[in-house]
Chain A
Amino acid sequence: MSNDITIKKGLNINLVGEAEKTTENAIVSNFYTIRPEDFHGITPKLIAKEGTQVKAGETLFYNKDVEGMKFVSPVSGEVVEVVRGARRRIMAIKIQADKSQTAVDHGAFDVAKADAESIKAHLLASGCWVFIKQRPYDVIANPAKTPKAIFISGYASAPLAADYDYVLQGKEAEMQAAIDALGKLTEGPVHVSVGKHSNSPLAGLNGITLHKVSGPHPSGNVGTQINKIDPVNKGETVWTINPQDLVVIGELLLTGKFNPERVVAMVGSEVKSPRYFKTKIGSEVSTMVYDNGIEKDANARIISGNVLTGKHIKPDGALDYYSNTITVIPEGDDYDLFGWNKPIFNKISTSRALTFSWLNPKKKYDLNTNTNGEHRAFVVTGSYEEVFPLDIYPMQLLKACMYKDLDEMEALGMYEVAPEDFALTEFVCVSKQPHQKIIREGLDIMIKEIG
C-alpha cells in the first residue's frame, strides 16, 4: 500500500558542503557526554555518581516522574564528572570510556510472543524508550498512553541532512524487529514515509503503511507528514521515531545489547571533505571535526544537527542523543556595509527585493550565522504561509503563544506542532523572531497547565 504526499509550500535551502557517500570510522572518543537537556522536560534523578563504573547500557539516571524510564550510558567506563548548573541542575554527565568495552546483556527478546506491556517494560528498562517521542508537546512519549498511530519519516529534506537511504543500508533486520515491536504498542498503523524517488531500505519492511513524499523542505519533517496523513486532535497522541533510532531499538531486541552506534553526516561549508562517519552517541565532535580541515581557532559554528534545528555546541562538545548530522558553518559576526539596501546575490531569500536567489533555485549557498538584520515586531504578513505546509495559521499561533492564551493555542492547532515545524518560518522571518523558542515555550506552558 502506498500513498503519495506532495508538498507545494516550502523552501529547499541548498548549502555548500553536502556529504559524499563514503563512510569511515571516526577516531574512538575517550570521553562521552550525555546532556539531560537533550531530553526536553525530563527531570533527571542521578544514579551513577562521580567515580561509578558503568557498562554500556547501564542506567545513568532515570526520569523523576516516570521512574521506570531509564537513561543509559552509551559506553562502558567511569563517570568522571557530573557538571551541574544553577540550582544544582545536572548539565552534563561525562564518562571516560574503557579500553575494552563491556555491555549490559538483556538477552534476545522474542517480539512475536511478547505483549505490549512487556515490550514497553523492556524498552523503558533498556534505555531505548527515550527514542520514542510523542505529539502533542514534542517530548519523550508518555508510556501510560497508547498512541493512535506511529510515524517514522525516512525522508530527510532539511538542509545538508544525512541521507537515510544511505545510512540505513543493511539495517533492514534491526528495523524490522523494531517495527514489529512498535506495531504492538499502537492500535493504529505505523506510518513510514520515504522519498518518492528513493530506494530506501525502509520501503521493504512489513507491517507498515508506506507513504511516498515529494516536494521541498519541510516535506521530510514528520510533523508535516502527520498533518497530511492523520492530524493530531485534542486528547490524541501519536509517537514519532527517527529511523536511525529504530536501528538501536532493533539491535537491542535482537542481541539484547544497547548499541548506540550511528552513522553521522559531517557537513557544511567549513568541512574540507564532507562525508559520513561511524561513531557513537555522546562522542566528542573533536574526534571528527579537527581531522577534517577545520582549524582549531577557526571562526566556525559547530552544530549537532542541521542548520535549522540543531544545537550550537562548542568544539569540545559532543554529538547529542538524537542527531545524525554535524554541521560546521562560518560564524557571521561581521558588519556589512549597506547590507539592508544593496543587491544581494550570495544569500537565500524568499522575496525578490533586490535579492536574487530566485534566479537560480538550484544554486548552493555558503551561508553564515549572521542574522542579516535586527529583531523587530511582527510586521510583514503572508511570507510564513509560503513555506508552511501545515493546515494551521502560523503567525496567529505564534502570537497566541506569545500572549499565552491556552484556549486559542489549542483551537489553532498547538497539539499538532513541534518547534521544528517552525524552523522554516523562523528562517524567512523578516522580523527575525525566534519562532522555535516561542513554540517550545508555548508547548511547555500547555504541558504545565493541561498536561
Chain B
Amino acid sequence: MSLKNNLHKLKEKYNGTKMAPLFNGFHTFLYTPNEITHGGTHIKAADDLKRTMNTVIMALVPCLIFGMFNAGYQHHLALGDIQAANGFFGATFWSWDNLVVGLWKVLPLVIVSYGVGLAIEFLFAVIKGHEIEEGYLVTGMLVPLIVPIDLPLWMLAVAVAFGVVIGKEVFGGTGMNILNPALTIRAFLFFAYPTWMSGDKVWVHGAVERAQEIAGGANVDAISGETVLGSLAQGHEASYSVADMFFGMIPGSVGETSTLLILLGGLFLIFTKIGSWRIMLSSVVGALVMGLIFNGVVDAGWISESSKFYGLMSTEFWHHLLIGGFAFGAVFMATDPVTASQTNKGKWIYGFLIGFISILIRVFNPAYPEGVMLAILLMNVFAPTIDHYVVQGNVKKRMKRLKAKTA
C-alpha cells in the first residue's frame, strides 16, 4: 500500500471528527486533495491559496538567508573580529562564522514564530471546525524578519499569540482581518517592550549583553549598533555608504536591510502576479514625493540646522528608500491582499499614502525614527474607506446612466 492510499484511509477515518481539520492540514500539505468540482465550473485553474502563499515565502527566503549572514557580520564587525566587507560579495560577509551566528540567533526566531502561530491556528481550526487556512505561512515568515536580532524568544511568543488571536482570529481568521497580522505582532512588541525594539543597543547581536557587562563594571568597549535611521535622527552623519545601504550590510531588523534582495523579491512577486505592482510602485512614489517635499523645505532654508528634524529632513529623498524598513514594508507588508485596498484604483491611493506617511512619521517622530509599520497599520484601517469611495464611483456612474435614461 502506498502512502497515498494509507493517507486516504486515515482521512476517511478522521472525517467528521474534531481532529479532521488537524489531519487535513497535514494531509493537504503532502497531497493536493482529490476534491472534484460540484456545480459551477467543471474545471478550475491551477492556483490555490497554498501556492499563492508559497510564492511569497519563496520571495522572502533570500532576505532570510541574507539576514542570517548579516547578523553574524554585524556582530563580528562590532567586536572588531573582521574587516568591513568590500562590496556585496565581500569575503568577510559571506563567511561560515557569520552564518553560524545567524543560524544560532535567527532560526530560533523562525521556529518560535511558526510554532506558536501555527499552534494557535490549529487550535482555532479544531475548536471552530473549519479547515486550517494558510494565512499564517507568510505571517510566520515575516515576523522573524522584522524584529531585532536579540529579541528574547518569550517576548516573541507572547506577541505572536497576541497578534494571531487579537489581530486575526477574533475577526474570523484568514481573509477577515483588518490589520496586517505580522505588523500587529510587531506593534505589540514595540509598545509592550520598547527598550527591546528601539534605541542603539538592540540591532547587533551582543550589544545588549555588552552594555550590561559595562554597567556591571567590566572594562570593555561598548558595541554601538545604531541603525542608519537612528543616527540620522540624532543629527549625525550616516556612517555607511550608499552601496552598503543598498546591499544591506547595515544594522537593522533581521531581514529588512538588503534593499537589493527585497527589490529582487518584489520583482519576483510582480512577475508571478502574486504581489500588487500598483501598491509597490505607488508607495515608492509616495515616499519619494514626501522626501522631495522635505528636501525642498531644507533648500528653502525654512528649517535651521539646529532643529532636531534637520538630520532626516536633509537626507536625500531617494536615500529614504534604502534605509530602515521602508522597502521591506512596501514590498511584503503593504501588499497583503486582505488588509490592503481591494480595488485597483484604491491600491494606487493606498500605496501612495503608505509611502507618503511613512516618511512623514519617520522624520517627525524623534523617539522612534521609523514610520513604515505605523503608516501601513494606519492605512490598513483606511483601506475599506478608500475602497468604498472607489466603488461608489462605479455606483454613481450607474445611477447617472439610469437618470439619463429616465429624464
Residues of A within 8 A of B (CB): 13, 159, 231, 233-236, 301, 303, 307-310, 312, 327, 329, 331-341, 344, 347-355, 357, 367-383, 385, 391-393, 395-396, 411-413, 423, 426-432, 434-437
Contacts and interface: CB of A to CB of B under 8 A. Distances in A.
Given A336-B31, A355-B46, A432-B48, A312 B272 contact: no
A391 B42 contact: no
A443 to B, nearest CB: 15
A192 to B, nearest CB: 23
B104 to A, nearest CB: 28
B307 interface: no
7 contacts: A335-B32, A340-B50, A351-B273, A367-B43, A376-B174, A391-B394, A395-B342
B43 A307 contact: yes
Given A233-B398, A354-B55, A392-B394, A307 B36 contact: no
B71 to A, nearest CB: 28
Contact of A437 (B34, B39, B47): B39
B340 A381 contact: yes
Given A382-B344, A430-B49, A369 B42 contact: yes
Contacts of B387: 396
Given A234-B402, A371-B36, A437-B40, A411 B45 contact: no
B285 interface: no
A394 to B, nearest CB: 11
B52 A435 contact: no
A344 B395 CA distance: 39
A336 B51 CA distance: 13
Contacts of B395: 411-412
Contact of B276 (A309, A331, A382): A382
B52 A353 contact: yes
B31 A396 contact: no
Question: Which of B131, B176, B273, B405 has the most CB atoms of chain A within a 10 A radius of its CB?
Answer: B273
B394 A393 contact: yes
A383 B45 CA distance: 12
Given A339-B31, A340-B32, A372-B32, A427 B43 contact: yes
A381 B38 CA distance: 24
B126 interface: no
A278 B391 CA distance: 48
A301 B4 CA distance: 23
B46 A331 contact: no
B28 interface: yes
A160 to B, nearest CB: 11
A357 B405 contact: no
Contacts of A381: 276, 337, 340, 342-343
B49 A428 contact: no
Q: Which 6 A-B pairs have the closest CB atoms?
A: A373-B48, A339-B32, A377-B175, A340-B50, A347-B46, A335-B31
B75 to A, nearest CB: 34
A348 B395 CA distance: 33
Interface in B356-407: 387, 391, 394-395, 397-399, 401-402, 405-406
B27 to A, nearest CB: 9
Contacts of A354: 51, 55, 272
Contacts of A301: 36, 42
Contact of B175 (A369, A378, A396): A378
A373 B51 contact: yes
A142 to B, nearest CB: 20
A393 B391 contact: yes
B47 A351 contact: yes
Nearest to A351: B273
A337 B174 CA distance: 25
Contact of B51 (A308, A341, A369): A341
Contacts of A379: 49, 52, 135, 174-175, 337-338
Contacts of A370: 32, 34-37, 44
Interface in B132-147: 133-135
A409 B173 CA distance: 25
A336 B273 contact: no
Nearest to A357: B46
Contacts of B46: 344, 347-349, 355, 357, 372
Question: Which of A327, A380, A391, A426 has the most CB atoms of chain B within a 10 A radius of its CB?
Answer: A380
B271 interface: yes
B219 interface: no
B157 to A, nearest CB: 26
Contacts of B30: 337-338
Contacts of A233: 398, 401-402, 405
Question: Which of B33, B343, B387, B391 has the most CB atoms of chain A within a 10 A radius of its CB?
Answer: B33
B95 interface: no
Question: Which of B35, B55, B131, B272 has the most CB atoms of chain A within a 10 A radius of its CB?
Answer: B35
A40 to B, nearest CB: 13
Contacts of A435: 40
B212 to A, nearest CB: 44
Given A367-B43, A369-B37, A340 B48 contact: yes
B222 interface: no
Given A340-B32, A373-B51, A312 B39 contact: yes
B3 to A, nearest CB: 9
B375 to A, nearest CB: 20
B54 interface: yes
A336 B32 contact: yes
B42 A307 contact: yes
B28 A374 contact: yes
A321 B229 CA distance: 70
A364 B175 CA distance: 34
Contacts of A372: 32, 44-48
Given A312-B42, A341-B51, A391 B397 contact: yes
B49 A373 contact: yes
Contacts of A382: 276, 337, 342, 344, 347
B34 A334 contact: yes
Question: Which of B41, B340, B395 has the most CB atoms of chain A within a 10 A radius of its CB?
Answer: B41
Nearest to A412: B395
A209 B5 CA distance: 59
Contact of B54 (A335, A341, A429): A341
Nearest to B36: A369
B337 A335 contact: no
B165 interface: no
B274 interface: yes
Contacts of B39: 312, 434, 436-437
Interface string B298-322: 0000000000000000000000000
B131 A374 contact: yes
Interface in B112-157: 131, 133-135
Contacts of B7: 335
Nearest to B132: A374
B374 to A, nearest CB: 23
B210 interface: no
Given A379-B49, A412-B394, A333 B32 contact: no
B394 to A, nearest CB: 6
Given A336-B32, A373-B49, A436 B41 contact: yes
A333 B49 contact: no
A368 B43 contact: yes
Nearest to A383: B273
A376 B24 CA distance: 14
Contacts of B399: 411
A181 B8 CA distance: 59
B32 A308 contact: no
Given A233-B405, A373-B50, A377-B133, A427 B45 contact: yes
Contacts of A340: 28-29, 32, 48, 50-51, 54
Question: Which of B274, B347, B397 has the most CB atoms of chain A within a 10 A radius of its CB?
Answer: B274
